[in-house]
Structure 1
Amino acid sequence: MKLANRINSSSVFLVSGGARGVTSECVIRLAQQYQCKFILLGRSPIIEFEPDYVQNYFDESGLKKSIMEYQLSQAQKPTPISVQKIFNQISASREIKNTLSRVQQAGGSAEYFNIDITDYVSLYAKVTHFSAITGIIHGAGNLADKLIEKKTEQDFEIVYAAKVQGLENLLSCVNISQLQHLILFSSTSGFYGNVGQTDYAMANEILNKSAHLIQQKYPNCHVVAINWGPWENGMVTPELKKAFTERNIGIIPIEIGTQMLVKELNSGNQVTPQVLIASPITPPATKLNSELKTYHIHRQLILEENPFLQDHVIAGKPVLPTTCAVSWIINTCENLYPGYRLFNCTNFKVLKGIIFDENFVEEYILEIQERVKNNNSQEIEVFAKISSGKSHKIRYHFSGDFKLLREIPPAPFNGFPETQENTIPYWEDNNFYQSWVGMLFHGPSFQGIKNFITFSREKFTAKCFWQKIEAKQQGQFPVQWFNPYALDISTHPLGIWLQHFYQESVLPASLEKYEQFATIPYNEEFYISGEIKSKTDFNLVADFVIFNSQGKVSARLFGVTFIRWFMTYANKSQSEAS
């Protein structure tokens, strides 16, 4: 959806939580950019005339010392709670005044009202005086971080109401159909979840879903829920900051965060009503129980819920790609062991593929047998197999050994081979998926070969590009750490190689070892190098390396065995290749 950029000096934003913290910094940046007007709402009162005993103190230690001395002079007994309470009141008032001053200096204008947005009556009485509100920025929020068994109803209400009831009240006080912008400050806690923040995560996820619904109902309004990661001076306590550091979560600098907000509002493109601005979150490591367990996980496969299968059809029947079976196992293991990721897979075998034909059964069983669980080395090893049963007969489809680690080793680098254009066969249009329909039967979900930069009887390197498909297209096999669609492309250059030199086609049968160091690139170029290790009339063994444009290895496959596929295809390029 394309929206005109309508923010200008006449724009009026109603901003909750807008006079302090992160939201105030965003308001100031918008004032600098557009010189617009802001109606700022917050729970902290402005102290017009500060007591004499605090007027000359501005740092925390000096201010608190002055408060303590004053209480002693009044024959009061200072306590940490009483001192902190006065300190918070003075600091909040000063911050609000500073925000109003900075907005004015930036060329905008702002009014502040001491209102709790969960109090609808007071909010409505004040906001209805402003008839020209063109946008809402909902930045208010509270924290009450505790493990769920320790949370009280009051904890939940304080956190939940500010986000959810606050949004409902704000929207009830304006004419939504006249709004040009609705910006909801959500959090990565709603997207990823976070320990101790069940209420905060729930409230923010409601903001996310609300953005989708409101955008559908009011398509002319720029609606977006921004799932912010932690900010430099946001609601990040020292304890939280330490936890973020341990999980490699980056803190958003004020300058960068406010700039990204302006960019979002200035883009004029409503591609999605939910935006994630944060570094990827690594879940805290699961403490491993020494007891080795076996899991049996049942799953139904439904053709209609997996549209990508229509792009993987062999002999007229949709076939589950081997890489999707691997993804099935990996994603399940990573859900079983939060904080751990697949590092390698060994001895993987295709026992009987899953074909959506007359013999297809809907229910399958993934059996995961724990072999090693080590808290010291932070590694987990399991044996996994996928089976199904029909008429009391068990069929085994896939099996292999999988190792998961808490920390993946650094990615090695792969040297770029020198381009050998004079040795590469000439293909007129390089549209391999139309010209080579024998081995390359793949539809758009799995297409990626662009061209070759080396090509010989022993080795080849191909440049690739995989366009990420929508979540709905991925169905029951979503892209996570492991990408089954991009990995499937790794064998496609081999198909071209085989057709060119031998006019043969093959299918994967087994794999000695797979290693993954990083996610396979998508929506950008990457490279696949293959080396033929052996070939007979019936099978072929090859190694593959997948690396990005800087040479950083994403994944390596060793000892991939393919078996010959005895079928005849119409291939217009086959005669040319021979």
Structure 2
Amino acid sequence: MTQTAQLSPSSVFVVSGGAKGITAECTIRLAQQQPCKFILLGRSELLETEPDYAQNSDESALKKCIMENLLSQGEKPTPMNVQKIYNKITSSREIKKTLAAIEKTGAKAEYISVDVTDTPALQEKLATAVQHLGPITGIIHGAGNLADKLIEKKTEQDFEKVYTAKVQGLENLLNCVNPNQLQHLVLFSSVTGFYGNPGQSDYAIANEILNKSAHIFKQSYPSCHVVAINWGAWDSGMVTAELKKVFQERKIEIIPVAVGAQMLVKEMDNTNHATAQVVIGSPLVPQATELDSELRTYRVRRQMTLEANPFLHDHTIAGSPVLPATCAMTWMINTCEQLYPGYKLFHHQNFKILKGITFNESLAKEHILEIEEISKVSFENVEVKATILSKNPEGKIHYHFSAQLNLQQKIPIARPYESINLEEDNIITTTGKAFYQNGGATLFHGPAFQEVTKVLNISPEKITTECLWQEISDKQQGQFPVQWINPYTIDLSMHALWIWTQHFHQEACLPGRVEKYEQFVATPHNKPFYVSCEVKAKTATSVIADFIIHDRQGQIYSRMLGAHAIIWSMKLLRS
């Protein structure tokens, strides 16, 4: 791995938006960690001397002085004029305070009043600064604007204001430096670019371009320390008491200024990042929106290929990759959660596997997801019927999966599982990968769907397994990413019944339908969880069971009730 340069007294950083607010606080903390040289950029004017009348720091007193001065000059002290002068004075004070705090650390700081989107002015003024501070070795791009509105109300001017500060600002800064001399490129992006947020489509686009720019720059200049920090909400002046209340309701944690500034320092020290993008802060949980009364129907078309979904190689039955039923279900769920922001699946019922989707010559060119609204109550719940279908070249419709989904704004808390039993009886001593070896002697699944780490206990009525799903990459997940529902851990949970039927009856089974599935808490990955499978009935052709997925204390993550499985030939599965 290429080693990047560390901070030193000779480092010269240009910091856009760095003289005020959060970026200023981060710069001060960075100077405390390593005094070096900083060129701070901002649009505000730095007043060499303040007007004689501006001797007050109290807001109301200062504004009164401004009004009196305007009157003495025969001008009308309109609220807009007074506020404009007030902002000019207080901005200048904040800039001087930032410069003083940086220089107190032993670092050097210079402020340039310039708009980063003004290419000629930026080039000229930075060239002058470089003459007495030295070549620029680092960029911290913190400049940005907001114009929050729903997309149908945004103007071109709104978009340009937000977009250019981030995107053109970065382009201009990079054009002012020698990229081969650049040792650090730090971009202040946002979780809005990562998760999206209502009213911030332009801000999300601009920040996501910063994220992608970081990846591209790192590929071209591997010796440069590059990171796009996707910041969450900061506890600053922009986050009012009212906004804090909204964040609390949405369970969004706010980053304290001191903590966030220290996180920047940590990122500056972490020069051997495996990625050029990090997320710092809570996910942006979308707010529930008011739903209209009209019941609608949606159709979503998707082309599915083996190449786009590498995990399918780990789910091969009778020699062909087969779409897991759990993935079909999550296509339905994820689509509904996108249609109804702020609502999450609580339960689905009567999930049927009508005709599986096999990735061979019979695979349709496209599949259609139909979503039919049954009922909806604003800020409470949505009920829909979902069906996945396809058409063959002759136009004949094939129905693959169907279910009825219930999405809730607030997910109830489940009572702990009362019949928990994690005692080990040592009847089945196979562990880990051994369940999946020898051509699928017990389980045919590949690494994306492993692993059952051990069977804790087994009886004719119940089996309890310990599981641990190692997260696979986004690329492997393809068109079926893990979100609120994890299709891979759900599939893994059902392996318990496979082991039970093989142990007691030397048979295999495949899912047929599920009477009801409930999700209370996201199932963890990269750490153990437990599956208690209660067998309710067994015939020569089928088996019915309940699956309770929980932690070691019995806290329920999810449960699958009335899961019907079809007995299948082990030889056919491995053929």
Report the CA distance between 1:286 and its aligned residue.
Answer: 3.3
Aligned partner of 2:406: which letter?
A: K
CA distance in 1, matches of 2:100, 2:549: 55
Cα pair 1:526 1:548 within 8 Å, conserved: yes
Query: Which residue of 2 is the match for residue 509 of structure 1?
Result: 512
Query: Which residue of 1 is the match for residue 380 of structure 2?
Result: 378
Paired residue for 1:462, among 460, 465, 470?
465
1:386-401 counterparts in 2 under 5 A?
A: 386-390=388-392, 391-401=394-404
Counterpart secondary structure, 1:285? coil
Q: Per the alignment, do residues 570 and 411 of structure 1 end up closer, same or farther by CA in structure 2, a change over 3 Å counting?
A: closer
Report the CA distance between 1:360 and its aligned residue.
Answer: 2.7
Query: Which residue of 1 is the match for residue 436 of structure 2?
Result: 433
Query: Which residue of 1 is the match for residue 563 of structure 2?
Result: 560
Paired residue for 1:475, among 441, 466, 478?
478
Report the CA distance between 1:121 and its aligned residue.
Answer: 1.9
Q: Per the alignment, do residues 344 and 11 of structure 1 end up closer, same or farther by CA in structure 2, a change over 3 Å counting?
A: same
Aligned partner of 1:9: which letter?
A: P
Counterpart secondary structure, 1:99? helix
Q: Per the alignment, do residues 216 and 399 of structure 1 end up closer, same or farther by CA in structure 2, a change over 3 Å counting?
A: same
Query: Which residue of 1 is the match for residue 45 of structure 2?
Result: 45
Query: Which residue of 2 is the match for residue 13 of structure 1?
Result: 13
CA distance in 1, matches of 2:179, 2:285: 38
| 1:176-196 deviation digits (Å, cap 9, x = unpaired) | 111111011112222233333
Note if 1:105 corresponds to 2:104: yes
Report the CA distance between 1:484 and its aligned residue.
Answer: 0.9
1:539-558 counterparts in 2 under 5 A?
A: 539-548=542-551, 551-558=554-561
Aligned partner of 2:34: which letter?
A: Y
CA distance in 2, matches of 1:363, 1:475: 16
Counterpart secondary structure, 2:279? strand
Report the CA distance between 1:137 and its aligned residue.
Answer: 0.2
Query: Which residue of 1 is the match for residue 494 of structure 2?
Result: 491
1:330-409 counterparts in 2 under 5 A?
A: 330-375=333-378, 378-390=380-392, 391-409=394-412
Report the CA distance between 1:317 and its aligned residue.
Answer: 0.7
Cα pair 1:532 1:543 within 8 Å, conserved: yes
CA distance in 1, matches of 2:326, 2:207: 34
Q: Per the alignment, do residues 300 and 86 of structure 1 end up closer, same or farther by CA in structure 2, a change over 3 Å counting?
A: same
Query: Which residue of 2 is the match for residue 63 of structure 1?
Result: 62
Q: Per the alignment, do residues 265 and 463 of structure 1 end up closer, same or farther by CA in structure 2, a change over 3 Å counting?
A: farther
Report the CA distance between 1:507 and its aligned residue.
Answer: 0.7
Paired residue for 2:282, among 274, 279, 282?
279
- Range 528-537 or range 421-430, more displaced: 421-430
1:20-39 counterparts in 2 under 5 A?
A: 20-39=20-39
Q: Per the alignment, do residues 406 and 201 of structure 1 end up closer, same or farther by CA in structure 2, a change over 3 Å counting?
A: same
CA distance in 1, matches of 2:322, 2:490: 16
CA distance in 2, matches of 1:4, 1:54: 47
Cα pair 1:312 1:443 within 8 Å, conserved: yes
Cα pair 1:249 1:281 within 8 Å, conserved: yes
CA distance in 2, matches of 1:311, 1:408: 32
Cα pair 1:432 1:440 within 8 Å, conserved: yes
Counterpart secondary structure, 2:529? strand
Q: Per the alignment, do residues 408 and 311 of structure 1 end up closer, same or farther by CA in structure 2, a change over 3 Å counting?
A: same
Report the CA distance between 1:323 and its aligned residue.
Answer: 0.2
Counterpart secondary structure, 1:469? coil
Paired residue for 1:299, among 284, 294, 302?
302
Identity %: 58
CA distance in 2, matches of 1:177, 1:143: 32
Query: Which residue of 2 is the match for residue 199 of structure 1?
Result: 202
| 1:436-482 deviation digits (Å, cap 9, x = unpaired) | 81341111111122223333333333222212211211122122211
Cα pair 1:521 1:548 within 8 Å, conserved: no
Q: Per the alignment, do residues 570 and 248 of structure 1 end up closer, same or farther by CA in structure 2, a change over 3 Å counting?
A: closer
Note if 1:256 corresponds to 2:253: no
Counterpart secondary structure, 1:142? coil
Cα pair 1:439 1:506 within 8 Å, conserved: no
| 1:211-233 deviation digits (Å, cap 9, x = unpaired) | 12111111111112112122111
Aligned partner of 1:213: which letter?
A: I
Aligned partner of 1:388: which letter?
A: S
Cα pair 1:438 1:569 within 8 Å, conserved: no
Counterpart secondary structure, 1:497? helix
Cα pair 1:361 1:388 within 8 Å, conserved: yes
Query: Which residue of 1 is the match for residue 192 of structure 2?
Result: 189
Paired residue for 1:420, among 423, 434, 442?
423
Report the CA distance between 1:307 and its aligned residue.
Answer: 1.0
CA distance in 1, matches of 2:371, 2:573: 42
Provide the alpha-carbon RMSD of the alignment.
2.4
Paired residue for 2:320, among 306, 312, 317?
317
Report the CA distance between 1:560 and its aligned residue.
Answer: 0.7
Counterpart secondary structure, 2:437? helix
Query: Which residue of 2 is the match for residue 575 of structure 1?
Result: none
Cα pair 1:16 1:117 within 8 Å, conserved: yes
Cα pair 2:19 2:40 within 8 Å, conserved: yes
Counterpart secondary structure, 2:571? coil
Aligned length: 569
Aligned partner of 1:21: which letter?
A: G
TM-score with structure 2 setting the length: 0.92
Counterpart secondary structure, 1:141? coil
CA distance in 2, matches of 1:551, 1:108: 55
Runs of at least 5 residues in structure 2 that lack an aligned partner in the other structure: none
Query: Which residue of 2 is the match for residue 85 of structure 1?
Result: 84
CA distance in 1, matches of 2:25, 2:464: 49
Cα pair 1:190 1:227 within 8 Å, conserved: yes
Query: Which residue of 2 is the match for residue 123 of structure 1?
Result: 122
- Range 334-343 or range 309-318, more displaced: 334-343
Aligned partner of 2:429: which letter?
A: Y
Counterpart secondary structure, 2:284? coil
TM-score with structure 1 setting the length: 0.92
Query: Which residue of 1 is the match for residue 147 of structure 2?
Result: 144
| 1:357-387 deviation digits (Å, cap 9, x = unpaired) | 3433222222222111112x62111112222
Paired residue for 1:327, among 326, 330, 354?
330
| 1:314-369 deviation digits (Å, cap 9, x = unpaired) | 11111110101101111121222222211101011111211223433222222222
- Range 295-304 or range 308-317, more displaced: 295-304
Runs of at least 5 residues in structure 1 that lack an aligned partner in the other structure: 572-578
Cα pair 1:3 1:270 within 8 Å, conserved: no
- Range 456-465 or range 18-27, more displaced: 456-465
Counterpart secondary structure, 1:23? helix
Counterpart secondary structure, 1:304? coil
Q: Per the alignment, do residues 385 and 428 of structure 1 end up closer, same or farther by CA in structure 2, a change over 3 Å counting?
A: closer
Query: Which residue of 1 is the match for residue 273 of structure 2?
Result: 270
Cα pair 2:195 2:283 within 8 Å, conserved: no
Q: Per the alignment, do residues 60 and 465 of structure 1 end up closer, same or farther by CA in structure 2, a change over 3 Å counting?
A: farther
Note if 1:448 corresponds to 2:451: yes
